[in-house]
Amino acid sequence: MGLKIIVLAKQVPDTRNVGKDAMKADGTVNRAALPAIFNPEDLNALEQALRLKDQIPGTTVTLLTMGPVRAAEILREGLFRGADDGILLTDRAFAGSDTLATSYALSCAIRKIGKFDLIFAGRQAIDGDTAQVGPQVAEKLGIPQITYAEDVLFVKDGAIRVKRRLERGVEIVEGKLPILVTVNGSAPACRPRNARLLMKYKHATTISERAEKSEDYMALINEKPYLNIKEWSVNDIECDREQLGLSGSPTKVKKIENIVFQVKEAKRLTDSDSDINQLMKELIENHTIG
């Protein structure tokens, strides 16, 4: 019997080079202004799912993301690497969600997907670094969780055995399915795109992406339904709208500041023997060292 696996993924702004202009006045992120990538640890999570698909015949992997229309990019990326299908949850009603409102929306979408055995997610996303959405989704679905997974040792007889990477060592745990597992960056990297899948899914799109496409393209979608990436709005899931977006978010951003450090006037030295000897002499004399 194959497993039904869901992988949670997020398209994130590349946080290595961002400034204050990337934030809106209300303190939320202006994602449109930043280069967007597949959250790195979500790729580690996808790899764990694909490995189980390789091992257990009949296993399917569904990639689920919440975000703007352009987030379909990571779903295509997942299809190129071996996922069976992708779902984009997108609606203005989700805008401004904190981790709790996000988890609620995702859990409603997962309920709509139906029965599943396993949910994989990256440990955390590089834009927020909170590591909260995985456990919160598990709680909303009423299933157990295993966080900080580095390797799935096996799935057998309705249970999963996982190696966890903790601060001071490793822990091997076993949990009953269905369960949610968050995967560390120290887990094996995701496989690259597969050339055959790249050809197959090159033209896969969501309905929003197709809005401006030609009639020929629409005919192609009718002929090859797997090229349709599912797009769900708030109307496609059963949910309490009060729990979505800003109204469903207990945390509010009060203030955003750029980081300013206290600048000192440094004493400038060269790497000459005399400069360094003088410095060391001072440090010994004032008991900073020695």
Partner 1 sequence: MNNIIVFCEIEDGKVQDVSLELLTKGRKLANELNCKLEALAIGYKLEGIEKQIFPYGVDTLYVVDDAALEHYLTLPYTSITVKLFEEQKPQIALMGATTVGRDLGPRVSSALHSGLTADCTELEIGSHTETKTNKTYDKLLYQIRPAFGGNIIATIINPDCRPQMATVREGVMKKEIVDPNYKGQIVKLEAKKYVNDTDFAVRIIERQMEKSKVNIKNASIIVAGGYGVGSKENFQLLFELAEVLGAEVGASRAAVDAGFAEHDRQIGQTGVTVRPKLYIACGISGQIQHIAGMQESSMIISINSDPYAPINKIADYVITGNVEDVIPKMIKYYKQNTK
Is 8 near partner 1 (CB under 8 A)? Answer: no
From CA 51, how far away is CA 46, in angstroms rounded? 9
Q: According to CB under 8 A, which one of 11, 145, 205, 206 is a site residue for partner 1?
A: 145
Beta carbon nearer to partner 1, 220 or 284: 284
Shortest reach from residue 245's CB to partner 1, in Å: 14
Shortest reach from residue 37's CB to partner 1, in Å: 12
Beta carbon nearer to partner 1, 235 or 286: 286
Shortest reach from residue 18's CB to partner 1, in Å: 5
Q: Are 142 and 29 in contact (CB under 8 A)?
A: no
Q: Which stretch binds partner 1 (CB under 8 A): 114-122, 129-137, 198-206, 210-218?
A: 129-137
Q: According to CB under 8 A, which one of 48, 65, 99, 206 is a site residue for partner 1?
A: 99
| Residue window 59-98: x/- pattern of binding to partner 1, with contact defined by CB under 8 A | ---------------------------------------x
DSSP string across 89-152:
E--GGGTT--HHHHHHHHHHHHHHH---SEEEEES--TTT----HHHHHHHHHT--EEEEEEEE
Question: Which residues are bridge partners to 87 per DSSP?
Answer: 64, 230
Q: Are 50 and 42 in contact (CB under 8 A)?
A: no
Q: Contacts with partner 1 in 147-186 (CB under 8 A)?
A: 147-148, 161, 164, 166-176, 179
- The number of CA neighbours under 13 Å toward the Cβ of 152 is 26
What is the Cα gyration radius of the chain?
A: 24
- The number of CA neighbours under 13 Å toward the Cβ of 52 is 30
- Please state the φ and ψ torsions of residue 7, each to the nearest 5 degrees: -115, 125
Q: Are 134 and 180 in contact (CB under 8 A)?
A: yes
From CA 268, how far away is CA 288, in angstroms rounded? 19
Shortest reach from residue 8's CB to partner 1, in Å: 14
Q: Contacts with partner 1 in 14-53 (CB under 8 A)?
A: 15-16, 18-20, 22-23, 27, 29
Q: Which stretch binds partner 1 (CB under 8 A): 40-48, 128-136, 194-202, 223-231?
A: 128-136
Q: Contacts with partner 1 in 222-281 (CB under 8 A)?
A: 249-259, 261-264, 266-271, 273, 275-277, 279-281
